[in-house]
Amino acid sequence: MKHGFIRAAAMTPLIRVADCTYNTERIKELMLSAAERNVSLAVFPEMCITGYTCGDLFLQETLIRQAEESLLELVRESEKYEGMLVFAGLPFEYNCKLYNVAAAFCEGRLLGLVPKKCLPNYGEFYERRQFTPGFDECVTVHVGDFEVPMGAKLLFACENMTQFVVGAEICEDLWTVQPPSIGLAVHGATVIANCSASNETIGKRRYRTELVSGQSARLVAGYVYASSGEGESTQDIVFGGHNIICENGSVLGQAELFSGEQIYADLDLDRLKSERRRMTTFVSAEENDGYTTVYFRTKIKELDLQRYYDRTPFVPQDEKERNERCEEILNIQTFGLKKRLVHTGCRSAVAGISGGLDSTLALLVTVRAFDACGLDRSLITCVTMPCFGTTDRTYNNAVELTAQLGCTLREIPIEKAVRQHFKDICHDENVHDVTYENGQARERTQILMDIANQTGGMVIGTGDMSELALGWATYNGDHMSMYGVNSSVPKTLVRHLVRYYADTCGETELAEVLLDILDTPVSPELLPPEKDGTIAQRTEDLVGPYELHDFFMYHMLRFGVRPEKLYRLARHAFEGAYEDEVIYKWLKTFIRRFFSQQFKRSCLPDGPKVGSVAVSPRGDLRMPSDASAALWLDELEKIKNKNFN
């Protein structure tokens, strides 16, 4: 589908044991339902044409022949549904032996049969009584008028959507030491279909979910698992219809047990392709190794996405998970700085403290690092440097925060020094341009560096990853430090880290200061305040909402999402929050600044990586400083012409 999406369905029909005619009608009904929902891949359970619990009836010629006739009827039915690939299970006889197979068919064509390799023969399952284990080598079999391949090494590849390649395995195959899906993925399958009949016992639902999810992560693939449900015999066991759809470790959807629920999910095949391309440990096969590819076609169309995209992908929505994430990140930052302090022998640290979020987080991390080193907090020098844009609120918070944490405060007003500097370079103080703003930032950095020399310490950097992605930092000003503890923490997460500290510090007065800092608008405070003393310069009014920029950054750097698709994802995620034109405007700003400001990231100081996205030139982002953004901006221009003209 457009932008690499395909809609998958895991479907469990209400069957009657050994009644192929009845079961076929139920499957046809679900095929129609899937087609109406624009499904490109529909997976049905193991032996769904006959029922899994037929026992020795599987050996009856009547059932075997009727199962084949029913399969052919379903294949003919599929001719009605353009581009929908279907997998359904049945018993199939070959060379006088019976095999448990998954049949693949699309648009009136039977494409192939995949036999189950690993047959359970323990507990309540005795498949080897009736069936023979499947084989890898591909043989040709006749089903009605069709001459098709049969073997476990079959791949079903879409001719007009090359990233859509499906492999199949059956139930127990997944539960073994070396599932067939491993080889299928290595040889190109981006999606695994599993026709299953997994019964319910205590705790099995959770284990099964973890198994399917883990396999999808291991294979960097989509995994569509359809299991038997109501209608199967309950003579000794019960089936709950536990359908699951996963993508690279994430559960996109699963059915409630015994609900008869059919589940749908949109798989992002471009995202999987990007992840495999990025991972050098995902090694694709260099040789064919006996795998056979069968081709089919799908219908390319734009889906109305039935998929959730988090507006704040760096911030977990669940409170417990978010708190765990915050503690983990604070520990990474803390022990990264601790190692640097120990290695350099520094017993002093210098931090510029503005009363803003970033400098607050940097100071909290520094305090934790000093505590971990057994150093007195008074050895941390907090420097507040009021100038033209400093407001009473931020100044007072900086002073109070320093006192509450037990650090040493130095107040160094820089107005006189900056004015002298403007005089030296012949700059009119009334011209509030980039020179006016950056002159203040560089003066502050010079002071911090010199105090660090005085105290034998190091300057702790405050800038966060969102600012670095946008280049929202003064080169050789707040851009520079001796260790940047926030360098891979996005702005949307900074807020939660400070809030977590406030909630868990156990100190009422400290918490009150932190909460007021959280309530203060984000600003560099480089322009004079309003007449009422409030902040005049609000960062998000100038560069755009950080929640949008963090969303853009996550999907572009983590998955290589192209501008047209990124715009679509943002519209989907932020529907009702921002107009389309606003999203477009700030996406264009993000791409333009991201490319033009790489020179600032190319010489970043050291700092700890905390997540899967980072911009360090030594690690995750090896990007030339003079790379052109033309291709990305051209694609955005096409979006503009299509949507806004």
Average pLDDT for the chain = 95
Query: Same domain, yes or no, for 477 and 371?
Result: yes
Residue ranges making up the domain that contains 384: 319-643
Give a yes or no: residue 309 inside a domain.
no
Give a yes or no: residue 311 inside a domain.
no
Query: Same domain, yes or no, for 259 and 396?
Result: no
Question: Tens digits of per-residue pLDDT, 122-148?
Answer: 767 789 999 999 999 999 999 999 999
Give a yes or no: residue 632 inside a domain.
yes
Query: Same domain, yes or no, for 227 and 323?
Result: no
If you ran DSSP here, which 8-state letter would residue 23 be given?
H
Please determine, for residue 209, whether its predicted confidence score (pLDDT) is greater than 80. Answer: yes
Three-state DSSP at 232 gives strand
Residue 411: which H helix or E strand, with range? strand 408-411
Please determine, for residue 644, whether its predicted confidence score (pLDDT) is greater than 80. Answer: no
How much is the average pLDDT of 183-212? 97
HEC string of 469-507 equals HHCCCCCCCCCCCCEECCCCCCHHHHHHHHHHHHHHCCC
Q: How confident is the model at residue 630 (pLDDT cuts 50, 70, 90)?
A: very high
Closest to 529 (Cα-Cα) out of 369, 362, 391, 639: 391
- How confident is the model at residue 525, as a pLDDT? 61
Active-site annotation, residues: 46, 116, 171
Closest to 574 (Cα-Cα) out of 560, 559, 585, 589: 585
Please determine, for residue 299, whether its predicted confidence score (pLDDT) is greater than 80. Answer: yes
Q: Which two tokens stand for residue 518?
A: 């959280």
Please determine, for residue 247, whether its predicted confidence score (pLDDT) is greater than 70. Answer: yes
Please determine, for residue 179, whether its predicted confidence score (pLDDT) is greater than 80. Answer: yes
Query: Same domain, yes or no, for 323 and 229?
Result: no
- How confident is the model at residue 542, as a pLDDT? 84
HEC string of 94-135 equals ECCEEEEEEEEEECCEEEEEEECCCCCEECCEEHHHCCCCCC
Q: Which two tokens stand for residue 54?
A: 């037929």
Q: How confident is the model at residue 218 (pLDDT cuts 50, 70, 90)?
A: very high
Please determine, for residue 642, whether its predicted confidence score (pLDDT) is greater than 90. Answer: no
Query: Same domain, yes or no, for 244 and 350?
Result: no
State how far the Cα of 233 lies from the Cα of 16, in Å rounded to an integer: 8
| DSSP β-ladder status, 41-43 and 5-10 | parallel
Give this prediction's pTM: 0.92
Query: Same domain, yes or no, for 266 and 325?
Result: no
Give a yes or no: residue 301 inside a domain.
no
Please determine, for residue 217, whether its predicted confidence score (pLDDT) is greater than 70. Answer: yes
Query: Same domain, yes or no, for 250 and 386?
Result: no
Give a yes or no: residue 159 inside a domain.
yes
Query: Same domain, yes or no, for 492 and 621?
Result: yes
- How confident is the model at residue 535, as a pLDDT? 61
Percent of the chain with pLDDT over 70: 98
Residue 613 contacts residue 557 (beta carbons within 8 Å): yes
Q: Say how far residue 29 (Cα) sits from the centre of its chain.
A: 34
Question: Tens digits of per-residue pLDDT, 429-461?
Answer: 999 999 999 999 999 999 999 999 999 999 999
Q: How confident is the model at residue 113 (pLDDT cuts 50, 70, 90)?
A: very high
- How confident is the model at residue 125, as a pLDDT? 77
- Give the count of beta carbons closer than 10 Å to the beta carbon of residue 258: 14
How much is the average pLDDT of 392-399? 94
- How confident is the model at residue 537, as a pLDDT? 62
Q: How confident is the model at residue 639 (pLDDT cuts 50, 70, 90)?
A: confident
Give a yes or no: residue 310 inside a domain.
no
Closest to 368 (Cα-Cα) out of 408, 336, 410: 336
Least confident residue range of 135-149, 292-306, 356-370, 502-516: 292-306
Question: In total, how many domains does the chain have?
Answer: 2
β-partners of residue 410 are 383
Give a yes or no: residue 305 inside a domain.
no
Residues for the chain: how many in total? 645
- How confident is the model at residue 315, as a pLDDT? 95
Indicate which CATH number applies to the domain containing 586: 3.40.50.620
State how far the Cα of 436 lies from the Cα of 236, in Å rounded to an integer: 81
Closest to 554 (Cα-Cα) out of 594, 606, 523: 594
- How confident is the model at residue 526, as a pLDDT? 59
Please determine, for residue 529, whether its predicted confidence score (pLDDT) is greater than 80. Answer: no
Last residue of a domain, one of 264, 296, 328: 296
> Is the backbone of residue 127 left (phi > 0), alpha (psi -120 to 50) or beta?
alpha
Q: How confident is the model at residue 582 (pLDDT cuts 50, 70, 90)?
A: very high
Query: Same domain, yes or no, for 277 and 399?
Result: no
State how far the Cα of 520 lies from the Cα of 183, in Å rounded to an integer: 55
- How confident is the model at residue 635, as a pLDDT? 95
Query: Same domain, yes or no, for 489 and 637?
Result: yes
Indicate which CATH number applies to the domain containing 92: 3.60.110.10
Query: Same domain, yes or no, for 548 and 587?
Result: yes
- How confident is the model at residue 415, as a pLDDT? 95
Q: How confident is the model at residue 154 (pLDDT cuts 50, 70, 90)?
A: very high
Give a yes or no: residue 19 inside a domain.
yes
Query: Same domain, yes or no, for 351 and 215?
Result: no
